[in-house]
Structure 1
Amino acid sequence: MREEAAATIPLCAPHTASHFHVERQIHTNGIFADIRHFGWTQSSRSVFRPDSYYLDFSIGPRCPASRFFKSERQLADPPGDIVFLPKGGAFATLSEPGEHSLLCLTFANERAMQLFEDDSVAHLSPCQDVQIGRVRQGLARLVEELRNPGFGQDILLESMALMLVVELCRHFRSAQYDDRSAHGQMPGWRLRRVKDRIEADLAGSLSVADLAAEIRTSPRHLIRTFKATTGTTLTDYIAGRRIVRAQEQLAHEDLMIKMIAGNCGFQSAAAFSAAFRKATGMTPREYREARIGMG
């Protein structure tokens, strides 16, 4: 076993924190575990970039006002007790005054990397509320072991960490298949989440990759099951919702057409006008005049 000195900076440390303290940390065979205490005395917005696969477990209550952003402007729901983030991502965060106590695990272990990057897992998505009983039990056991180390601690740490990796990969792998119907349709909760994300981000780019990550599936699976469920392609659905949003906003005389174009995800007023006319048979200005005239 090799125990790191307390002054060593752990992987994925929150560099914007007002204060940061490591209670206990251990590093063995590319697996880094620590119990850390940190907090903010004022609001801080930053981007968290894990340099390895990252898993944390809240030992005490999380500060409810500290959140990840699900889009550039919209905050995600408060994270649960267990958060998983894949390597190489960039996650915007809002940190409000408050305290955090976490067990943090990062994985640079060769066997763990093979499991995380196995083709059968396909797409590891961030999960801000991991609900896997065995993962929770394993993390609680690791907290106990770090605080009360015993014989063979390094072996126990590595074996339990790999067990957690297996459970996570099984969860993500099964999530791709266990909710498919005989006709390959999308379950209701996924469809609702995709539609909610679309409505929230109509002004943005709405990439298929981001929408797939929202429901922890692959872009190909999202495209296929969305069409099987709704009868329309994802691209056509988004285009239709943008036109509907534009129609709603055109009812307000004080909104400039150029502004409405941006609000609905069009890069220019000309592109908006062309798309709107194709969908409705009228230009935005003609639609506005007709709608106001009806009022």
Structure 2
Amino acid sequence: MRSGNRPEFEDQFTNKHLHKLPFFMRYRHTTTEFTMDAHSHRGYELFFLHEGSGHYINGEYVHTFHGNDLILIDGQHMHRSVPTPGNRFTRSFINFLPECLTPETNKQVVQLFGTKHKAEHAHFVLCKQQHARIYALLVQMRVEYESRQTGFVQMICILLTRLLEEIHFLRFNHLHPAADHVGEYHPVVRLIIDYLSVHYAETISLEALAKHFYISPYYLCRLFKKTTGETVTRFIAHTRVCEAKHDLVFTDLPISEICSRIGFTDSSYFGLVFKQFEGMSPKEYRKMHRQSPYLKDGE
């Protein structure tokens, strides 16, 4: 139900951050009495409570939390936290737009946040092991978000995908994923992502990439896939499409010029790859997002 989502409750602070990047992260803790007004905003929100207690109003549903909680929020629904006064209240927020995710991950988002989703299933009380696993991902995301190194957008999208996969697994399988599913990034993979984030528009052979990092093509493919969940080829394609989406919305460059700028030599092939990721043509994407009222707010 969205009838209570009146404009005066729009969280413009969050909306403006999501206008600049498709995700927004915060980590907060308070030791004095804390109150939050009911609000709504673009996209979706993951609310993690690390310590504290109280209630969370999520649309028409009220969750009671006690620490080590995770709440899934459709940002268009009115929501607010009501912590117990006087206690330490530590939490993390991740706001994100589905456009930064692959179609496969967006299917999981629909299952987690969609209209068939029941509000009582939006609240996870995490055991110590689950909280530790998810917190490890949050720490990696926060480091990337705050350091803003080359390729941080792509890296956060990968980490967000893994986080959503973890949540989806907990929601629908009621089991603990394999212990090695969440781990630290191999330093070579971090370097490869940095390199590809700069050279994505160039023609890069797997052999040349492996030679650049002094490893075999087989080991590079295996390590990259295990760490990111994507092949090198798909990662490059996804990076190109992300760049194209920015140009389609925020510039007046012809689509043929965007195609060439991001490394595609054939406009038809570019359109095919773009549609595989976004479910529509570049022209349709530009038309749809140019009409979005959020793009008229300015920076």
What band does the TM-score fall into relative to the shorter chain? Answer: 0.3 to 0.5
- The structure where helix makes up a greater share of residues is 2
TM-score by length of structure 1 reads: 0.36
Q: Which has the larger radius of gyration?
A: 1
Normalising by structure 2, what TM-score? 0.35
